[in-house]
Amino acid sequence: MNWHSDTCPISDEPAQEELSGMEDIAEFICPSCGRFRITRTALAMILHRDPEAKEFALTQAKMRVEAGEIPTIDSSLI
Protein backbone atom coordinates (compact mmCIF):
# COMPACT_ATOMS: atom_id res chain seq x y z
CA MET A 1 0.00 0.00 0.00
CA ASN A 2 1.17 3.53 -0.67
CA TRP A 3 1.61 4.96 2.78
CA HIS A 4 3.45 8.24 3.07
CA SER A 5 3.45 8.79 6.78
CA ASP A 6 5.12 12.18 6.72
CA THR A 7 3.35 13.68 3.73
CA CYS A 8 -0.14 15.14 3.68
CA PRO A 9 -2.26 13.03 1.30
CA ILE A 10 -4.33 16.09 0.35
CA SER A 11 -1.83 18.88 -0.29
CA ASP A 12 1.29 16.71 -0.66
CA GLU A 13 3.37 18.73 1.76
CA PRO A 14 5.17 17.77 4.96
CA ALA A 15 2.66 16.89 7.66
CA GLN A 16 2.62 15.23 11.03
CA GLU A 17 0.99 11.86 11.36
CA GLU A 18 -0.76 11.18 14.64
CA LEU A 19 -1.68 7.75 15.87
CA SER A 20 -5.44 7.75 16.03
CA GLY A 21 -5.57 4.57 18.04
CA MET A 22 -7.71 3.02 15.33
CA GLU A 23 -6.22 0.43 13.08
CA ASP A 24 -7.88 1.54 9.86
CA ILE A 25 -7.70 5.31 10.33
CA ALA A 26 -4.72 7.65 10.10
CA GLU A 27 -4.74 11.16 11.47
CA PHE A 28 -2.75 14.03 10.01
CA ILE A 29 -1.95 17.52 11.16
CA CYS A 30 -1.08 19.61 8.12
CA PRO A 31 -0.21 23.33 8.04
CA SER A 32 -2.60 23.88 5.12
CA CYS A 33 -5.35 21.32 5.69
CA GLY A 34 -5.52 21.35 9.46
CA ARG A 35 -6.24 18.23 11.45
CA PHE A 36 -8.14 15.44 9.76
CA ARG A 37 -8.46 11.69 9.65
CA ILE A 38 -8.55 9.42 6.65
CA THR A 39 -9.34 5.74 6.39
CA ARG A 40 -6.62 3.59 4.87
CA THR A 41 -9.01 2.55 2.11
CA ALA A 42 -9.63 6.19 1.27
CA LEU A 43 -5.93 6.96 1.49
CA ALA A 44 -5.08 4.31 -1.08
CA MET A 45 -7.75 5.74 -3.40
CA ILE A 46 -7.01 9.43 -2.97
CA LEU A 47 -3.33 9.17 -3.86
CA HIS A 48 -4.33 8.62 -7.47
CA ARG A 49 -6.68 11.58 -7.69
CA ASP A 50 -5.88 15.07 -8.94
CA PRO A 51 -5.35 17.93 -6.45
CA GLU A 52 -8.84 19.36 -6.96
CA ALA A 53 -10.45 16.03 -6.13
CA LYS A 54 -8.32 15.67 -3.01
CA GLU A 55 -9.27 19.11 -1.73
CA PHE A 56 -12.91 18.47 -2.54
CA ALA A 57 -12.89 15.29 -0.45
CA LEU A 58 -11.45 17.18 2.52
CA THR A 59 -13.96 20.00 2.07
CA GLN A 60 -16.81 17.49 2.05
CA ALA A 61 -15.48 15.83 5.21
CA LYS A 62 -15.24 19.19 6.98
CA MET A 63 -18.78 20.13 5.95
CA ARG A 64 -20.41 17.07 7.42
CA VAL A 65 -18.56 17.04 10.74
CA GLU A 66 -20.00 18.44 13.96
CA ALA A 67 -18.24 21.39 15.60
CA GLY A 68 -15.24 20.23 17.58
CA GLU A 69 -14.99 16.88 15.84
CA ILE A 70 -12.14 15.86 13.58
CA PRO A 71 -13.13 15.53 9.91
CA THR A 72 -12.73 12.01 8.58
CA ILE A 73 -12.31 11.28 4.91
CA ASP A 74 -13.69 7.87 4.00
CA SER A 75 -14.08 6.09 0.69
CA SER A 76 -17.62 7.43 0.21
CA LEU A 77 -16.18 10.94 -0.24
CA ILE A 78 -13.71 9.99 -2.96
What residues make contact with Zn ion under the rule CB under 5 A? 8, 10-11, 30, 32-33
Q: State the DSSP H helix or E strand holding residue 26, giving kind and residue range, or none if neither.
A: strand 25-30
Pick between residue 17 and residue 74 the one whose CB is nearest to Zn ion.
17
Pick between residue 57 and residue 67 the one whose CB is nearest to Zn ion.
57
**3 state DSSP class of 37:** strand
- Least distance in angstroms from the C-beta of 41 to Zn ion: 19
- Least distance in angstroms from the C-beta of 72 to Zn ion: 15
Pick between residue 24 and residue 51 the one whose CB is nearest to Zn ion.
51
C-alpha span between 71 and 69 (Å, rounded):
6
Contact 37, 48 (CB under 8 A): no
